Amino acid sequence: MDNLGRDSAVLRPSSWRGAVLLRSEYPDASPICGGTDLMVDINFARARPSGLLDLTSVQGIDSWELTDGGRTVRIGAGVSFTTIIEKLSGVCPALAQAARTVGSPQIRNRGTVAGNLATASPAGDSHPVLMACWARVEVESVRGPRLIDIDDFFVGPKRSALAPDELIRAVLIPAATGAQQFAKVGPRNAMVIATTSFALNLDVAGRRVGTGIGSAGPTPLRARAAEQMLEEAMADRWDEPGTVDESLARRFGALVAEAASPIDDVRGSAEYRRHALAVLGRRCLTWALADLSREAAA
């Protein structure tokens, strides 16, 4: 017997189809891939799943590919944060930056975006970027596959739209077409859970602004008013952003802060989180516009 209990089973499918079937057959078995969240809970006796559905041997989920004519990156459920940093910093710069802030090197070697999603913590480091990039989550069950828009994915603290018989197979993220930023505040300079975090995506091709807020609400959030305000302000300057407008950046930051609904907890006060988001919103926009201007000039 181990911490899982006397009757626990470890299911080890080697194919995706096998995994989907087992998921349906044993809905109480916790899927595990990196194990960087689940094993902490098990080791602290906070979780006692009746079984584990081990996805580490499933063929084909540990790779990524460009699809949709190079416009979308499809990241398999088993792709580690380390791989994202090493291979995807060009097409998904904000995601790669978020991946750099995840845990320690050992955790980044094991942890995955799909695991982040499955845990659905508002503090998941990749979530603000997935929000800002309008990612879609590719899930599958015996009932068939479906795509869940990221805006529909998070339904509460550590609760997602994933059905009990579904598994996350991949995450689809549009490749960056403009400038992206991700910034995360924590009281330690590495290996820290976010006090709050912010992602910004200036999608030049789509003439769209995407945002994502982490650790400042029951779920990852989108700063819609900030996005709309900036889209209007950018309407005639996507291709020639020009110099960074200080008051625009400040208004943007204030709208980002307004979109948050943080609480006081052991990692920081609600007030500090709002304040920090205003600063991060302003700084990220300033950097992103500067990046765009540099590219436009080049």
Interface positions with other proteins (CB under 8 A): 1-3, 5, 40, 43-45, 97, 100-101, 104, 181-193, 195, 197, 250, 253-254, 257, 264, 266-269, 271-272, 274-276, 278-280, 282-283, 287
- Rounded to 5°, the CA angle 178-171-156 comes to 100
Strand partners, 159: 156
What secondary structure does DSSP assign to 183-224, as a single string?
EEE-SSSSS---SEEEEEEEETTTTEEEEEEESSSSS-B--H
Q: Are 155 and 121 in contact (CB under 8 A)?
A: no
9 vs 192, beta carbon nearer other proteins: 192
153 vs 198, beta carbon nearer other proteins: 198
Minimum distance from residue 184 beta carbon to other proteins (Å)? 4
66 vs 190, beta carbon nearer other proteins: 190
Minimum distance from residue 151 beta carbon to other proteins (Å)? 25
170 to each of 73, 114, 281, how far by Cα in Å? Answer: 10, 7, 29
Minimum distance from residue 290 beta carbon to other proteins (Å)? 9
Minimum distance from residue 2 beta carbon to other proteins (Å)? 7
Residue 280, classed as helix, strand or coil, is helix
Minimum distance from residue 234 beta carbon to other proteins (Å)? 22
83 vs 141, beta carbon nearer other proteins: 83
- Rounded to 5°, the CA angle 70-287-282 comes to 120
76 vs 111, beta carbon nearer other proteins: 111
**Whose CA is closest to 61, among 139, 120, 133, 117?**
139
Tell how strand 159-160 and strand 154-156 pair up: antiparallel
